[in-house]
Structure 1
């Protein structure tokens, strides 16, 4: 009988160099999409997927993440006194979650960050959720992976197709065969292949479900691409001893780990909100008219 997946690990120790200078003092995970930090979207997906305990792996300068998910009695009391129940509900939603924190002492890569969760996870399956990818789906992306684990009793990697010219930015899966239209057996995993050498266009996009055996390989993993301990390398070794599957999850994935993706996500999320969409559309129209005038001059 499969053990139920109850735990999630969210690595949040990166330096956020692509968003400097904003991330000099603010964690990139706290950059807001409209009015909500990016990491909160990830937390909400975990909770909606049935996850009960969440570990966030942080680093130096990340205290704001802990503060965001902590209670603020002074703020809550002020909102109560002013009768602002709608805002109080928003604040309380960030504190009624079972979240733990641990610090990654040195920036040694994603694999090393996940390894910090070994004691938290114990001998249970768990999910890893990266904050650079927000997924909007009818069934939460993490819930989809859990459903596949309940069938296969194996590690499941969330993938989607990307453009051929973008494969060098991701971990790419080399398929051996397909079990269903969306579930595939994997021959190997390639971390950021050189342009033109990718074995497929199916990219690992920030959602993983692992059996606890992954820690055995992370503990002995040699330094790889970029001088870091790569999670992809450990998955490849795990796959040699215990089958790992790739699952093409349903949903729209937003890349908030780079500037254009972050801007696009902010615009699309704004347009999806009834309280903002018409004003944002009018504003965008005005901006485009102004810029078209300046270009034609």
Structure 2
């Protein structure tokens, strides 16, 4: 039996302005843009719940209150649906138990590391997960979600973990890459270093960091003194690199698919891929796609 403190808190940095999706995101947070019929933030929260996480910490900015409202009770909508004999089951995942959703403000856009640091008072002395909602992680058919896979690994080794995916070697320069150490299993690897967007010649592996983390609370102390890095922002990768060697650090290779929904192409790809897998629309979407490709 392990003695690792359980992962019950998760931080969702959702303060970004979503400029790559303007004008769609002028009045709507990018995290509420739907992939088929669920917003991006819902996929991330559902993944967290599957992993046993109970408290969701949203690091928000101005104009992001709609994200919290998505997980609130919608009395007018629910009353109208009930009066019309419509099932409310579709809304079940959007209801949060009182106290499960907490928000803090990142008042100045100073990078991912700074956003995580803004949640320090709520994280306290607990290990915690981080979800980047732009990174849509889809489990293999019949498999478990990315964070659940990570929590299972954490229960074995403790310390800090990041999710990684293998990409073609020629693509590594676009991502943060791990320097791997000893392989503990087919999916669990020791991390000896982190390199941000290395050249092909300098890349220590083809395993890229993919938007899910489990970190110990000591990272907050590192971030407090963290200087600005790439882009003039406080980078989480820099803080994690400073923790390697002081605490256990491992990578979990996700058995599933990743969609970069921070890009328009990735967003469209995710929408099409998930629609094709839906029993209620997959066949129609496939026929539509074939028809469009013929035209």
Regarding TM over 0.5, the answer is: yes
Q: TM-score, normalised by structure 2?
A: 0.94
Tell me which protein shows more helix as a share of its residues. 1
Aligned length: 288
The match for 1:240 is 245
> C-alpha root-mean-square deviation of aligned residues, in Å?
1.4
Aligned counterpart for 2:101 among listed residues 81, 84, 99: 99
Structure 1 CA distance, aligned partners of 2:250 and 2:54?
Answer: 24
Structure 2 CA distance, aligned partners of 1:181 and 1:274?
Answer: 32
Aligned counterpart for 1:166 among listed residues 158, 163, 171: 171
The match for 2:29 is 27
Task: Verify: 1:281 aligned to 2:280, yes or no.
Answer: no
The match for 1:140 is 145
Q: Is the 8 A contact 2:163 2:211 kept in 1?
A: yes
Structure 2 CA distance, aligned partners of 1:213 and 1:244?
Answer: 13
The match for 2:264 is 259
The match for 2:196 is 191
Moved more, 131-140 or 106-115: 131-140
Unaligned runs of 5+ in 1: 291-297
C-alpha displacement of 1:177: 2.5
Structure 1 CA distance, aligned partners of 2:178 and 2:257?
Answer: 20
Aligned counterpart for 1:268 among listed residues 260, 270, 273: 273
C-alpha displacement of 1:255: 1.8
Q: Is the 8 A contact 1:191 1:225 kept in 2?
A: no
Aligned counterpart for 2:228 among listed residues 215, 223, 232: 223
Unaligned runs of 5+ in 2: none
Aligned counterpart for 1:202 among listed residues 192, 199, 207: 207
SS at match of 1:208: strand
Decide whether aligned partners of structure 1 residues 23 and 50 sit closer, same or farther in structure 2, where only a CA change above 3 A counts. Answer: same
Decide whether aligned partners of structure 1 residues 139 and 198 sit closer, same or farther in structure 2, where only a CA change above 3 A counts. Answer: same
Structure 1 CA distance, aligned partners of 2:51 and 2:164?
Answer: 18
